[in-house]
Amino acid sequence: MSQPPLLIGCASGFSGDRSDGAAAVVRTLAARGGGTLIFETLAERTLALAQLARNDDPNCGYEPLLDELVGPILADCLRDGINIVSNFGAANPPAAARRIAELAREQGLPVPRIAVVHGDALNGPEHRALLKERLGAALDGLDIVSATAYLGAEEIAQALSAGAQIVVAGRVADPSLTLGPALAHFGWDPADWPRLGRATMAGHMLECGLQVTGGYFCVPGLKEVPDVHAAGFPIAEIQADGEFVIGKAEGTGGAVDARTVKEQLLYEVHDPARYLTPDVVADLSQARVVELGGNRVAVHGITGHARPDELKVNVCYRGGWLAEAEISYAGVQAEARARLAADIVQKRLGADYKLRADLIGAISILGDDAGAMRRATPDSHARDVRLRLATENADRALAERVLREVTALYTCGPAGGGGVRTALRPRLNMMSCTIPREAVRSGWNFLEEIAP
């Protein structure tokens, strides 16, 4: 008899996602015999922000909403044998693991076996030398906040096979959160590229949460989605050969159909024959989808090729100051007055002062930083326009000048400008490279093996 599918539900697509979706996912998994719950909470810069938090307090540096994500479903997961796998450890996986153990104690639960993945942080001097070799002069003089390698599914799979009920990681590739449990469950050969390719794309479908269940899909009049305000988080059913079906939590809104699945399948893909992860090069060039009804869609035709030789590294560094200021105009010649206001500020700051101007309500986000599109677009006579001016500078005082100039438009004109808001914030910039796998010493431990 064939093995039953592995069910993996995802209840977060980034740090900042809705945190109330896990309960419906867990109920669905439990009703269907158990499975694995994953939370994806690390965008490219999230980890640098977490590192800054850890610098300030050695007990911080993991996902700030950890309690909210895990607290409500911890008892149910432990009771129903649902494992939890996540990158919510961010810059401090041991602290996140300790917090989960504490949550279990607070709730009167037996403390679960928690595994902690390590090795993604590249903080040693030998790592810096290697990054210098790869990035060269671009690295000179930078105030580096974090450097992390994208780990794969191997440590997660090993920890689950050893009996971990919860696996806490920092930087692992998003789809590896799904591939790890699949490797452990089915016992696949880690070089079985077609199976790894398929399960990796199952992870890709899950890792952005509602993006595959109709949330980041709906367009009134063109692509309607029922009860989108209460759209459910996705669940993948992975078969022993890696083929998978995408569905969603029971009793939720949203939709999973061929269109929602195709949009997510191609999300952030370049060459569909070569989707790179640390685990495999997935190949979706021959993918096809079949609607099964009941918000379930099967994805067929995916395969995989040997994994890349090197691991991707993100280096985040302090990037100076971002200054943004806004002012609104309405009525006759509103757009013309907003355009004039932008010209006035540019003239006063000088032609060399880098300034982006957006006419919100007429032309804004579609334009380029240099303003070519804005200048090429004739005045549309928009009658309710918000001008946004933005700059960046390593020198805080220079960045602040645009804030002062926009505020002064209150009396200096053009006529009728109101509602000035200004903001100044430090920037985190990023660059990427790859490094040899041997340079990254990754592994995992049970929490009790880690010195507090």
Partner 1 sequence: MTQTLLAVPLYRLAHGRSGDKGDISNLSLIAWDAECYDVLAEQVTESRVAQWFAYRHPKRVTRYALPMLNAMNFVLEGVLDGGVNDALNLDTHGKSLSFRLLDMTVEVSPELASRLPDIPGDRPAAA
Residues that bind partner 1 (CB under 8 A): 44-45, 211, 216-217, 219, 221-223, 259, 262-272, 284-289, 301, 319, 322, 354, 356, 358, 364-369, 372-373, 376, 388, 390-392, 427-430, 432
Q: How far is the CB of 276 from partner 1 (least distance, A)?
A: 10
Q: How far is the CB of 421 from partner 1 (least distance, A)?
A: 13
Q: What is the dihedral of CA 14, 20, 22, 26, to 10 degrees?
A: -170
Q: How far is the CB of 9 from partner 1 (least distance, A)?
A: 22
Q: How far is the CB of 168 from partner 1 (least distance, A)?
A: 26
Q: How far is the CB of 268 from partner 1 (least distance, A)?
A: 3
CA distance 433 to 286: 29
Structure-token pair, residue 405: 């100039």
Comparing CA positions, the residue from 168, 119, 173, 174 lying closest to residue 147 is 119
The nearer residue to partner 1, 185 or 388, going by C-beta atoms, is 388
Residue 248's DSSP bridge partners are 234
Provide DSSP, 267-283. Answer: TT-SSTT-EE-SS-EEE
The nearer residue to partner 1, 333 or 364, going by C-beta atoms, is 364
Compute CA distances 108 → 71, 73, 101, 165, whole Å. 12, 14, 11, 17
The nearer residue to partner 1, 229 or 270, going by C-beta atoms, is 270
Q: How far is the CB of 173 from partner 1 (least distance, A)?
A: 13
Comparing CA positions, the residue from 32, 6, 19, 4 lying closest to residue 86 is 19
Structure-token pair, residue 443: 């592994």
The nearer residue to partner 1, 376 or 415, going by C-beta atoms, is 376
The nearer residue to partner 1, 137 or 365, going by C-beta atoms, is 365
CA distance 417 to 335: 11
The nearer residue to partner 1, 137 or 376, going by C-beta atoms, is 376
The nearer residue to partner 1, 129 or 423, going by C-beta atoms, is 423
The nearer residue to partner 1, 367 or 417, going by C-beta atoms, is 367
Q: How far is the CB of 282 from partner 1 (least distance, A)?
A: 14
Q: How far is the CB of 361 from partner 1 (least distance, A)?
A: 13
CA distance 120 to 140: 22
DSSP 288: E
Structure-token pair, residue 14: 């980034």
Q: Of how many residues is the chain composed?
A: 452
